[in-house]
Chains A and B, each alone.
Chain A
Amino acid sequence: MILGLMAGLLFTPLAWAVLTLLSGFERSRLISWLGILIQSLVSFALWAAVASEGGFHYQLGGWPAPLGIELRVDGLAVTFVMLTAVVGGACGWHAGIYLDPKKNWHRYFWPLFWFLWAGLNGVWLGADLFNLYVALELISLSAVGLVALGGQADALRAAIRYLMAALLGSLAYLLGVALIYGQFGSLSMGGISELLPAGSGQAGLIFALVLMIAGLALKTALFPLHGWLPPAHGIAKSPVSALLSALVVKASFYIAARLWLEFGEHLGSYGLAQLVGALGGVGVLWGSWLAFRQTRLKQVVAYSSVAQIGYLFLLFPLSWGVSEAVSLQAQQGMTLQVISHALAKAAMFLAAGNLIMSVGSNRVDALAGVSRFLPFSLFSFGLAGVSLMGLPPTGGFAAKWLLLQASLGSGQWWWLIVLLGGGLLSAAYVFRVYRASFIENSDTDLFFHPSRSLEVIPMILALLSLGLGLVAEPVLSVMALPFSKGGGG
């Protein structure tokens, strides 16, 4: 039954994509909301099953790898499946109300949304390198389509730029896969990591790993390969931006992290690890600085994504060449960071969308008076910002704490500067927005008030990100052996 659930997580979204392709916006909306409910229930059931029985493998149709498609699920994978259900569901619900039904092309949001979901689940559950490539491509193409949904010239520019970056990244990744297959004749991650000690030190393999990580880094917008992200996330519709920042960039990071943790021990080096970490650190500082300088609200949030993504790559130096305990802390911290950033960033983009719709402008200085008349959306924005700053008791703080411990434990104290300084810099741009909204402009309420459900959704996400800090311990224990080779089966 559980195996059926796993397969269902991949095929239900595809079926729903076809269904919604055939109907107009309103009917697709209803179909999709039903689909979101079903997907969420299935994801939760899978999570409960893994929590009680542990992880396992599953071969689709009984065909063994490498010809067949093999799925594997462990604690970490199922946590991300749950995260996708929560954030994807929230964004889908929000989009149904937020998008204007009168614009005919908005009906294509739904099929693209479902394809995106299918691709995401494919990444979390995939067990071999090539299937990950296919899932990544599915995600990228859907995401590009979603960005282009705006229809104007600048949305198309952003979409084209995004497509170029995504394709280049995928091709680099594929070349790396080709080189690895050439060496080992196997594509499954588990199989390769067993064969690795025999081939360690070979320049070709190291080159392959570097290529793959570089390609994935481009898709995750690591500095200096981040140029495509701010236009794409800033210009897209808010629910789309939320999906992109929260989930899409995490998919490529997830693969990069898995590659590093399974192959990096033999193929990586101290220099490579520190280089990746340093690029992440610069990304944090540079992204935060640029976020502070933006005049448009969504661009602030988009550059904030660039900054937060930089944190993720601190996993690389903190898990290479360090003790088991420190590596575990780094992995746990990074997982919490991914989850809390996904929740907080989605909340932030959705709240920003509400604010822009109410104020009638997407500039930061047009927010004057919002704190008096639209406190609800502003509060979710602020709460999400608190998580991004890593202030207690949010999930962002829990992640920061674990990473601080890992930095101290491994003796790599220079990451402390990045972690603490990044938090302060993110405070700069969050408080700038907050401050702009406290300015009193006039005594009358000239704002368009969005419907209650639109305001509730980002608040729920922000509260979840807050709650993550309080329930961090149970969440981490379900992840049990994160990144292990699949538990049972």
Chain B
Amino acid sequence: MSASLLYALAGVALCGIGLFGFITLAHLLRKLLAFNLIGSGVFLVLVGLAQRHGEPDPVPQALVLTGIVVAIAATALAVVLIRRYFHLSGHTTLRAETPERVPGRLKPQTRGDNPE
């Protein structure tokens, strides 16, 4: 078993752990961390498998770098959304339900009333 295959298997294991965490954990920040784990696992697989053929291959390295940048952007977006959601609703999980909106009365409508 070569080193690169070991990396690849480690990557798969990380993916599995991350997936398990994503499904079972309820707290949004923890789900986000689980995502990052899955991401890291995928990157490891990408690098590990390509190195199998002997000399280092620049393409997967480039791909992983791009992937890391994308993952950072996505994580940043997720953190902002979760923080804002917590600020507005006080919840840290998605399991809590919001009540159904009360239907509007039939009265002459003005622009500012758009219920969307």
Contact = CB atoms under 8 A, between A and B. Distances in A.
Asked if the two chains touch in their complex, CB atoms less than 8 Å apart, one says yes
Interface of A: 66-67, 100, 130, 133-134, 137, 141, 144-145, 148, 150, 152-154, 156-157, 159-161, 163-164, 167-168, 171, 174-175, 177-179, 181-182, 185, 187, 237-238, 298, 353, 356-363, 366, 441-442, 446-448
B78 to A, nearest CB: 6
Contact of B108 (A167, A178, A448): A448
Interface in B14-30: 15, 22, 28
28 contacts: A67-B59, A134-B66, A141-B74, A145-B77, A148-B81, A153-B85, A153-B88, A154-B98, A156-B89, A157-B89, A157-B94, A159-B81, A160-B78, A160-B81, A160-B94, A163-B77, A164-B22, A167-B35, A175-B42, A175-B45, A178-B45, A178-B60, A181-B59, A181-B63, A356-B116, A360-B113, A360-B115, A362-B116
Contacts of B109: 357-360, 446-448
Contact of A134 (B52, B70, B84, B116): B70
Contacts of B78: 160, 163, 167
B77 A181 contact: no
Interface string B30-61: 01000100110010011001101100011110
B71 to A, nearest CB: 9
**Residue in B57, B67, B110 with the greatest tally of chain A CB atoms within 10 Å:** B67
Contacts of B106: 360, 366, 441-442, 446
**Residue in B53, B81, B82, B103 with the greatest tally of chain A CB atoms within 10 Å:** B81
Closest 5 CB pairs of A and B: A182-B49, A448-B109, A361-B104, A178-B46, A153-B89
Given A148-B84, A168-B22, A356-B115, 10 more contacts: A178-B42, A178-B60, A185-B57, A356-B116, A357-B111, A358-B109, A360-B104, A361-B104, A446-B106, A446-B107
Contact of B115 (A174, A175, A177, A362): A362
Contacts of B6: none
Contacts of A133: 67
Nearest to A158: B94
Nearest to A442: B106
Q: Is the interface of A mostly helix, strand, loop or mixed?
A: helix
Contacts of B22: 164, 168
A185 B104 contact: no
A133 B68 CA distance: 13
A353 B115 CA distance: 10
Contacts, number: 138
A45 B41 CA distance: 43
Contacts of A448: 108-111, 113
B46 to A, nearest CB: 4
Given A153-B98, A360-B109, A366-B104, A141 B77 contact: yes
Contacts of A144: 77, 81
A362 B116 CA distance: 7
Contacts of A442: 106
Contacts of B66: 130, 134
Contact of B53 (A145, A177, A185, A446): A185
Contact of B114 (A174, A175, A357): A357
A179 B98 contact: no
